[in-house]
Chain A
Amino acid sequence: MRAVALRNIKLFFRDRSALFFSFLSVLIILGLYMIFLGDMLREGAGSVPGVDALMNSWVMAGILAVTSVTSTLGAYGIMVEDRHRGMLKDFTASPLRRRDLAGGYVASAVAIGLMMSLITLLFAELFIVLNGGEWLSWTGWLRVIGLMALSVLSSSSMVFLITSFIGSVNAFSSVSTIIGTLIGFLTGIYIPIGSLPSWVQVAVKLFPVSHAGALLRDVMMEEPLKQSFAGAPPETVSQFKLEMGIAFEFGSYTTSAAASLAVLALTTIICYGLSILRLSRKG
């Protein structure tokens, strides 16, 4: 299992074009944000102090959530390609257990997801600080990294389940493109959830990656929120949190961090469970 995982990690980081493309969604979001989305958001927020740091933290948290999907998607691309190239023949004719092989793919995807998330986090923090924001506190770093880990686990489980249905490399690249395009909308990153039509809002709230986004925003925007909304009534703050997708509202219930954590944990268990079921049925 370790050998397969290490192989996949090496392959992922050595394939420069694939590496670039797994960053592409993130770069597009960042580009759009720097060109005009950022301005729109700042205008929408009105004249609160420290609006730059607030919005930068908001978009970076979203980007981190998206990274967990796009990076693991790239990692599982190795698995799809192995199937396509008949590479599995060489593994199958060796005394390598099937579950070690599958475990190797999962372990490498999670490891790649974590590494890419960490790299993204470093650049995100740098971006925030260079634009007048403040570094995360050290507990903030720890919490963000913990959330990233959970977010990578849950995103990788969804991607793994999806790839188990994909037979060809072409189908995989189509699915990658679709996911890469939609993910920014589905997690309410291009446009805050509050500005979306209500039926899209439902989709966003039900999409597990949005909950990773919410949790990350909650931590990364904690300090900027305190500064921007100092002295503001609590209703204003909670209204802003709902508008920006830091918490979600289902009827009269507003999600807590614990609820979002549970969504991620359940997603992980269900999707990996289903995938294992599918793989063992296929033999």
Chain B
Amino acid sequence: MKRIIDVKGLAKSFGDVEAVKGIAFYVNQGSLFAFLGPNGAGKSTTIDILTTLLKPDRGEVEVNGYRLGKEDKGIRSSIGVVFQGSLLDPLLTVEENLLIRGSFYGFSRQALRAALDRACEIVQAGEFLRRPYGRLSGGQRRRADIARALIHTPSILFLDEPTTGLDPQTRRHVWDTIRQLQREQGMTLFLTTHYMEEAAQADYITVMDHGLIKAQGTPLQLKADYASDMLKIMPAHPGELSGYLSGKAIPFTVDGGIYCIPLRRTTDALAILDDCRANIGHLEIVSGTMDDVFMNLTGREVRNP
């Protein structure tokens, strides 16, 4: 598979603070790539470098075949960025905003109009096209932001926390749009998010903390490596179960009468269940989540804003 983003030995300091300490990773073309990490991990710095906003101190970066620092114009034409904050003009209508920003990409007048219509169709911005951006709801704004990033049909779309601060329904809508872009346009999506259920849908995840890459892999791999499934048993005779687990040296915690037993492998549950069959009131096997992965890797809870 073609690597559409390839980063090697990337480092950036601000004064004494080393924000990014020599990281390497790549993104496959057409994939949904999730870039995770707590606040201050170096994510934003990395994204700012990839989108040509910041110059790195060291390292090599290639985006869509263009070398950063040498062919920035090529990179800028290849990427679309949905920034965390709103960067369209509140006093102008969505249409005016899109026409202005779209004209940065060297379209002819007709081509620009066609590009605008296409971008608006993807995010369904038709209903609020003629309204001032500043008067839109949060969800409409986000859709306008995405339309702006899509106007030149970029190969790679960067989305910096695209769903943060949106209500659940709008979040779903925005998320559906993002997935649709990947499926139907084959666009590569580079995403940061605070929502682990979104990250879990990515093709590939990279977790960053303290300027370094802590782990990379598919959600399944990461869950296998950094989260354990949990066997939960509500026993008929609690003392008996405690004795059995202690005897076998199986670690467990008790929470409100429910015994929680972390599993190395899901199938480890079978032996325990066989041995305790008669003592089981209720049972449940809970899969490890991306939240557990994040917690184990960074020692911090995902901060939900």
Q: Tell me the A residues contacting B by CB distance below 8 Å.
A: 2-4, 6-7, 10-11, 14-15, 85-87, 89-96
Contact = CB atoms under 8 A, between A and B. Distances in A.
A173 to B, nearest CB: 18
Given A10-B96, A89-B53, A94 B104 contact: yes
A78 to B, nearest CB: 9
A94 B148 CA distance: 11
B52 interface: yes
**Most chain A beta carbons < 10 A, residue from B77, B87, B88, B96:** B87
B79 interface: yes
B100 A94 contact: no
A87 B87 contact: yes
Nearest to A14: B91
B197 to A, nearest CB: 28
B31 to A, nearest CB: 21
Contacts, number: 57
A91 B92 contact: no
B100 A7 contact: yes
A94 B101 contact: yes
B104 A85 contact: no
Contacts of A87: 87, 89
Contacts of B106: 95
A86 B87 contact: yes
The 4 lowest CB-CB distance pairs between A and B, nearest first, are A3-B103, A94-B104, A95-B76, A90-B87
Given A86-B87, A90-B101, A95 B92 contact: no
26 contacts: A2-B103, A3-B103, A6-B100, A7-B89, A7-B100, A10-B96, A11-B92, A14-B92, A15-B91, A85-B85, A86-B87, A89-B81, A89-B83, A89-B87, A90-B83, A90-B87, A90-B88, A90-B101, A90-B148, A91-B104, A93-B76, A93-B79, A93-B81, A94-B76, A95-B76, A95-B104
B49 to A, nearest CB: 11
A8 to B, nearest CB: 10
Contacts of A10: 91-92, 96
A90 B151 CA distance: 13
B51 interface: yes
Contact of B77 (A86, A91, A92, A95): A95
A115 B243 CA distance: 88
Interface of B: 51-53, 73, 76-77, 79, 81, 83, 85, 87-89, 91-92, 96, 99-101, 103-106, 148
Contact of B105 (A11, A85, A89, A94): A94
A90 B81 contact: yes
Contacts of A14: 91-92
Given A89-B87, A95-B105, 8 more contacts: A3-B104, A10-B96, A11-B91, A14-B91, A89-B53, A93-B53, A94-B104, A95-B76
Contacts of B52: 92-93
Contacts of A15: 91
Contacts of B105: 94-95
Contacts of A94: 76, 101, 104-105
B85 to A, nearest CB: 6
Given A93-B51, A95-B77, A3 B83 contact: no
A17 to B, nearest CB: 11
A96 to B, nearest CB: 4
A199 B87 CA distance: 48
A4 B81 CA distance: 19
Contacts of A6: 100
B217 to A, nearest CB: 29
B96 to A, nearest CB: 7
A81 to B, nearest CB: 10
B100 A3 contact: yes
**Most chain B beta carbons < 10 A, residue from A10, A11, A95:** A95
Nearest to A100: B104
Contacts of A86: 83, 85, 87
A107 to B, nearest CB: 14
A248 to B, nearest CB: 42
Given A7-B92, A10-B92, A14-B92, A85 B87 contact: yes
Contacts of A93: 51-53, 76, 79, 81
Nearest to A97: B73
A87 to B, nearest CB: 6
Contacts of B89: 7, 11, 87
Nearest to A87: B87
**Most chain B beta carbons < 10 A, residue from A4, A6, A86, A90:** A90
A89 B105 CA distance: 15
Contacts of A4: 100
A15 B90 CA distance: 10
Contacts of A91: 104
A4 B99 CA distance: 11
Nearest to A92: B53
